[in-house]
Amino acid sequence: MSDSAATSPSRHLLDVANLTIHHGQLLAVDDISFRLEAGEVLAIIGANGAGKSTLLRTIAGLHTQTSGTITHDGDEISKLRTFRRVRRGISLVPEGRRLFPSLTLEENLQVGAQKAAEGPFNIAAVYDLFAWMRERRRQKVGQLSGGEQQAVAIARALVANPTILMIDEVSLGLAPIVIERIYEFLPSIVAQGISVLLVEQDVSQALAVATRVHCLLEGKTSLTGTPDQLSADAIESAYFGTIHSAATPEASA
């Protein structure tokens, strides 16, 4: 039923196998499996309540799965605490930015960089990527606009030099022009060897940047494939569950 179902001796950067997650009594994610390879941008799309954010939070270790396994670079990490997963190279930019309001922009980055792995990103490199941050580094993050805060949230995750960057709803609450500016930076991040797991409600934006798409419907995988393999109708049906929702699963398998 999934791409991880086929056994392979090769080590994948991230291997999510048969993951089932509950919120209390409520089933949020139902037996989901997928793999993330190095250099990939995997977009998880789906309507509100499909289980996308829960899936990312569980991979980050903020939520405990009911069953299934998460393997990172060949090691099972399902029981690792969040901070240990971050130190292994799995960073999450959470929904709603979640910056530290009592800290300045630079202090937010310093907290992100405190246990950084070796890699291309440090605070100076981030200032080169987002030039405006250098000038405003001593400002409290609450004084920044929503788009600027989102950029700081991404930068805070980047300075840890992750191998996997998970971004949850990057476009939420932002103006389209701001979203475009943030997405402009994504290729340069991937070019540094970082794989991206992107949760996005804006399907067109996700299709534009993703190398592979995984659609969720009510906690289950409804469609998966590369953007050029998937027709608009197939995505629409998988997204909303309206027409033959299981018609084109595993297109990329």
Among 60, 123, 186, 217, binds another protein (CB under 8 A): 60
Q: Is 56 in the site for another protein (CB under 8 A)?
A: no
Tokens of 170: 């990057």
Stretch that binds another protein, among 78-86, 174-182, 207-215, 234-242 (CB under 8 A): 78-86
Q: Measure Cα distances from 219 to 46, 52, 80, 154, 216 in Å.
A: 9, 8, 23, 26, 6
Q: Does 156 bind another protein (CB under 8 A)?
A: yes
Closest CA to 222 of 207, 201, 236: 236
Contact range with another protein by CB under 8 A, out of 59-67, 183-191, 211-219, 240-248 = 59-67
Residue 244 binding another protein, by CB under 8 A: no
For residue 189, which phi and psi values (nearest 5 degrees)? -70, -45
- CA gyration radius, the chain: 18
Query: Does residue number 91 form part of the binding site for another protein (CB under 8 A)?
Result: yes
Please identify, among the stretches 28-36, 77-85, 118-126, 204-212, the one whose residues bind another protein according to the rule CB under 8 A: 77-85
CB of 221 to another protein, least distance (A): 26
Shortest Cβ 160–another protein spacing (Å): 6
Residue in 7, 48, 102, 204 binding another protein, rule: CB under 8 A: 102
Q: Contact positions toward another protein, by CB under 8 A?
A: 60-62, 81-83, 86-87, 91-92, 94, 98-103, 107-108, 110-112, 114-115, 156-157, 160
